[in-house]
Structure formats: C-alpha cells, structure tokens
Amino acid sequence: MKKAILGRKLGMTQIFDETGLMVPVTVIEAGPMTVIRNKTAERDGYSATVVAFLDAKESNVNKPDAGVFKKAAVKPKRVLKEFKYADSYEVGAEIRCDMFAKGDIVDVSGLTKGHGYTGVIKRWNQHRLKMTHGTGPVHRSRGSMGANSTPSRVIKGLHMAGQYGHENVTIQNLRVVKVDPDKNVILVRGAVPGPKGGLVTVKQAVKKQAAAKAGK
C-alpha cells in the first residue's frame, strides 16, 4: 500500500469546478499522523507501520499505550492503527494529507450511523401491509418466514428486524477533488460513511490499482 491516512469526517458541502459545474464533496480532516513504531518480520512476523492520530489527555490513555507513546517520545493520541506502507518511515515522523493529490482515486472506510433496533421496513426497505380489511395490528410486521412442513425452520439470512447501522462500510473509487496541506483537509467527491466527527480511513483504491496493473 502506497497511500493511506486516518481522518475525521467534518461534513458535506459543494464546490464548483473549472467548467462551472457544481460538485458535491465530503470534507475530511486527514492527519497529521505520527509514526510511533515500525513492526518488522523478524520480531513481529510481518512488516507494518503503527501510527497515531488525534491528541488525547494523558489521563484518558491506558498504561500499555502510555508506555508506547513514552518510548516513541510522542504525545498521547486517541487512535492507534497500523498500515503496510510501501515506503518506510522513521519513528516520530509525521504523515500528512499531501501524500494524496487532486485526481487520485481512493477508498474511504468508516463506521456508519447507528439506528438501534429497527423493524424490517426501516432496516430492509420492505413494504407495509394494507391498512384496511382486518390486516391489523401487524401493518409494519414482516410476512411469512417460510413453510411450516418443509423445511420446518427459518432459513438463515432471512431479512428480519434487528440492529441497523453501526457497521464498518467502505465506499470505493471516490475521486479526490482538492487537497489543502495547510489545513490538513481532503475534499472527496460524493458521500462517505459515518456521522460528522466520525473516524474514517482514506486509502489508495484497490480495484482501480488492480485494473491499472491488468492494463484495463
């Protein structure tokens, strides 16, 4: 992986391109991240770069993480994550959003909004039953769950009521519209998962990269 950075979703807005067309964009506060450790194949079994993002109070950091920050001579951070970069970084180095450029294709991952326990209409976009002729009181309930003789059970994967949202989702092949290194901001065309202030990961697009290698 050549490019990857942690960020916070600040919200959505719109800008105008060179031709005057309106472009909907998501504003992401991307980095800076601080390198706190380099994992090696000899010691850890694989190579990776451990980075930290967002300042935190010392009282809010547990003792194991506090020891890691102290060893790296880095102020405590809220988020720890590791990436397998193609390039190597020294401990204490900063990784900033200028690794991306206008026109790059990226994948953005984030935790979607949680909606709690919901019914099948909100969760799976199913239709309600008619409101007349003795249908109630099950207007918003799901329909049949299967035959009673064969297979005499509820089939796995059936759309039912349950927890909706609060899951990790990746939106692929989004285009970077603008990068502002001075403000640590990346503007990505379209929407990305999560609420305002939610943590997101911006990575170099996987499918576009594979297609380029295949000559497509």
pTM beyond 0.85, yes or no: no
Per the structure, the complete domain to which residue 155 belongs is given by 115-165
In the structure encoding, which two tokens stand for residue 200, read together? 């997101």
202: nearest Cα among 24, 15, 27: 27
Whether residue 122 is found in the same domain as residue 198: no
pLDDT at 211 over 70: no
- Do residues 31 and 55 touch, judged by C-beta distance below 8 A? no
Q: What is the C-alpha to C-alpha distance for residues 207 and 200, in angstroms, rounded to an integer?
A: 19
Asked if 75 and 10 sit in the same domain, the reply is: yes
| Among 112, 124, 125, CA closest to 159 | 124
Looking at residue 135, its pLDDT comes to 80
Residue by residue, DSSP assigns 108-147 as EEEEPPEEEEE-HHHHH-PPPPPSSTT-TT-TTS----S-
Residue 122 is predicted with a pLDDT of 93
Give the model's confidence band at 193: pLDDT under 50 very low, under 70 low, under 90 confident, else very high.
very high
55 and 134 part of one domain:
no
**155-171 tens-digit pLDDT:** 888 899 999 999 999 99
> Is residue 121 domain-shared with residue 132, that is, in the same domain?
yes
Tens digits of residue pLDDT in 21-56: 899 999 999 878 888 888 888 888 888 888 888 888
Please provide the distance, in angstroms rounded to a whole number, between the alpha carbons at the two ends of the chain.
20
Residues 55 and 124 in one domain: no
pLDDT exceeds 60 at position 104: yes
Q: What is the pLDDT of residues 114-127, one digit of tens each?
A: 999 999 999 999 98
pLDDT bracket for residue 90 (50, 70, 90): confident
Q: Is the Cβ–Cβ distance between 112 and 166 less than 8 Å?
A: yes
